[in-house]
Structure 1
Amino acid sequence: MGQASGREISQTKPKKVCTEDNNKEYEWADGILPLTEVPDDVLAEVLKRVPARDIVKSCVFVCKQWNNVINTQTFWKELCIKDNGYPEKLFHVLVDEDFKKLYFKRPYYTNLIKNPDARDDFDHWKIHHSGGDKWKVELPVGCNPLEEYTGTEQSKGTRCWVTSYSECSKSQTIDLIERGCSEHVLDDLRPDIHVSEWYAARFDCGIEYCIKVELLKNDRTAVKEWTFDDSQPAGREWFKAEHTFTDYDPGVRYIKYYHRGKDTQFWAGWYGAKITLSSVILEPKLNST
């Protein structure tokens, strides 16, 4: 009689996965869960960790189940909360919103100004006047570091626009519908609209500075506007111009953002107002409960 080899046959214990959302547990043998048997909520948890561009360009075409999971409002709502930082309460007040569009457009809680800090020179801005030696882009010189005022290291190395000895002005108009805002939010919720930017003089020359922001209807007539003018003597300080629009009439579809500046000594070169970190942020009003 032959002897047993003494080798034991091991049995693989079932392994488990637990989803984050509802703490459900699923078991499978051999550590492998067949693709066709992956529960929808487990699949959604996995897909939420995939870059969104890959989700819409590749994952959605894998199979019918993946397509069905991806093309749900719940999936994109959870991505909006996870990646965009949108508060859960926002989704209690939205009506007939496409959450996938909301995810990619990002119309709320983020700066809607394109090229807000001269990183792309004058792209997306319309220049009205470029007097004196014209507009210029620079890393700020003749003033204190901007990060000392913003309180964030992210401002370190931020570029700015600099004006000259005659008026320099430019503007940018934001199409709110094109940027992803809904008429319901604009007309019924009427979000707070926060506008701001930083400006400075130089240690050796004073400046004149102005910012004007208009909330416009479809026909480009103004619903509300805010203007701030300032003159500063020579100095190294940065100043923040800021305002919040509230309780404006319905019908806002565009925001026109305009600023201008120059120096006070009529010196050749670029001794006028420095301007950077232009910002327009829409913050929908949420229920307190």
Structure 2
Amino acid sequence: MVCLRESAEGEDAWVLRAPDRKAAGRGGWKDPLWDFKGPVPRNGEWLLLKYRNGVASPSGTPQLWKIPREMDGPAEGGSEGQKVVPRPQSPPFPPRAPTPPPPLSPGSVIGESPLPVSSELGARQLLLDEWGTPGAELKLPEGLSWKLLYVRRPLYRNLLRSPNPEGINIYEPPPPCGPPRPLETLGNFSGWQISTEKLLPSFSWTVKQQCIDLLAEGLWEELLDKQQPDITVMDWFENSCLDTYVYELHVWLLAADRRTIIRQYHNAPRPSPKGPTGHWCQVSHVFKCYGPGVRFIHFLHKAKNRMGSDGFRRTRVTDSSVSLQLRN
């Protein structure tokens, strides 16, 4: 079982455990995520691997830690002795981020053409009325005016394109799936890069991803590096009950090269099997104090499909969002 939490630079981020020797296999235990081979932990022992920034520490010799039985609780999915349901493993490194789409036109940012403002003072006051107290301390870099900032609105708005491609309302049950069709034909998916991962025997993942260029959206380096606005990620997925795990969310905060990871978040929630089919579930996370250098946000989510005796069914996802807020 792999336990993953958000990893910050310089932190030990991974803890891996083999529940028993049978699960580990013969000839040694192997970490399928990092291709690491090591000794087989006995029952009640945890194998602690120290990683820094997603890379095994040079001095990180694997150590076996004896955990008291009262601390070594039952595996996820049941009590001691029951079958362990494997948790989907998060990718160790993001796929190459797609090319960010060009910035939206001013009228598209807020859904209508912004009200004309005659002065810098007027534009600043309109933004402060929206942003509240935190915006009062904001200093703009040379070349950026309050009037331009008012038009571009890089803060407190959803930076993802087509956040609800199929026009699904989370306050209503998801509509019937219908026969298999290319996802692009079901709505407006502009801005998304879409792919499919085949799973055996009858499952597949629909993978949708976007990359956000923060500077192109109107933010600036000093704001991102020094003030580091909170980055809020939110998504809604359908509890389709097609499998134990029907949805995954992966978000990477990337440097200017679009490859260097500064912070990351991964979540494969397990909805309650007692919940009604079609119930909407929310996933959210806030990146705080993530450090300097963030220039891109790579957003990726996966929704599971199944072709069975009852026909084709898929897990719907909607109302995805990534936004930045000034810290109090």
TM range (shorter): 0.5 to 0.7
- 1:93 corresponds to: 138
Identity of aligned residues (%): 29
Rounded to whole Å, the distance in 2 between the matches of 1:265 and 1:53 is: 47
The verdict on how the C-alpha distance between 1:166 and 1:269 changes in structure 2, with shifts beyond 3 A counting, is farther
- 2:228 corresponds to: 190
Give, in angstroms, the shift of residue 285 of structure 1: 1.4
Rounded to whole Å, the distance in 2 between the matches of 1:269 and 1:99 is: 54
Code of the aligned partner of 2:116: I
Give, in angstroms, the shift of residue 95 of structure 1: 3.4
1:238 pairs, out of 272, 275, 280, with 280
Rounded to whole Å, the distance in 2 between the matches of 1:223 and 1:129 is: 27
The verdict on how the C-alpha distance between 1:270 and 1:187 changes in structure 2, with shifts beyond 3 A counting, is farther
TM-score (structure 1 length as normaliser): 0.58
Moved over 3 A (4+): 51-56, 204-207, 231-234, 263-270
User: In the comparison of the two structures, how many residue pairs are matched?
Assistant: 188
Give, in angstroms, the shift of residue 268 of structure 1: 7.4
- 1:167 corresponds to: 205
- 1:213 corresponds to: 251
Give, in angstroms, the shift of residue 75 of structure 1: 2.0
The verdict on how the C-alpha distance between 1:54 and 1:189 changes in structure 2, with shifts beyond 3 A counting, is closer
Contact 1:165 1:269 in 2 (8 A): no
What does 1:136-175 align with in structure 2 at a 5 Å threshold? Answer: 165-175=203-213
Give, in angstroms, the shift of residue 170 of structure 1: 1.2
- 1:274 corresponds to: 316
- 2:194 corresponds to: 127
The verdict on how the C-alpha distance between 1:209 and 1:52 changes in structure 2, with shifts beyond 3 A counting, is closer
- 2:126 corresponds to: 79
User: Match of 1:170, SS?
Assistant: strand
1:258 pairs, out of 300, 305, 308, with 300
1:225 pairs, out of 264, 268, 278, with 264
Runs of 5+ unmatched residues, structure 2: 1-111, 168-186
Give, in angstroms, the shift of residue 78 of structure 1: 2.0
Q: Residue deviations 1:215-262, cap 9 Å, x none?
A: 010011111010001344472321111111011120100101000121
Rounded to whole Å, the distance in 2 between the matches of 1:55 and 1:73 is: 11
Rounded to whole Å, the distance in 2 between the matches of 1:254 and 1:99 is: 23
Code of the aligned partner of 2:304: K
User: Match of 1:186, SS?
Assistant: helix
Code of the aligned partner of 2:216: E
TM-score (structure 2 length as normaliser): 0.52
User: Match of 1:75, SS?
Assistant: helix
Runs of 5+ unmatched residues, structure 1: 1-50, 57-69, 133-163
Code of the aligned partner of 1:225: Q
User: Match of 1:178, SS?
Assistant: coil
Rounded to whole Å, the distance in 1 between the matches of 2:261 and 2:203 is: 31
- Asked if 1:55 corresponds to 2:116, the answer is yes
Give, in angstroms, the shift of residue 89 of structure 1: 3.6
The verdict on how the C-alpha distance between 1:283 and 1:268 changes in structure 2, with shifts beyond 3 A counting, is same
Larger radius of gyration: 1
Contact 1:196 1:240 in 2 (8 A): yes
Rounded to whole Å, the distance in 1 between the matches of 2:255 and 2:295 is: 5
Contact 2:128 2:136 in 1 (8 A): no
Rounded to whole Å, the distance in 1 between the matches of 2:159 and 2:232 is: 11
The verdict on how the C-alpha distance between 1:270 and 1:130 changes in structure 2, with shifts beyond 3 A counting, is farther
User: Match of 1:224, SS?
Assistant: strand
- 1:111 corresponds to: 158
Contact 1:208 1:264 in 2 (8 A): no
RMSD of aligned Cα (Å): 2.7
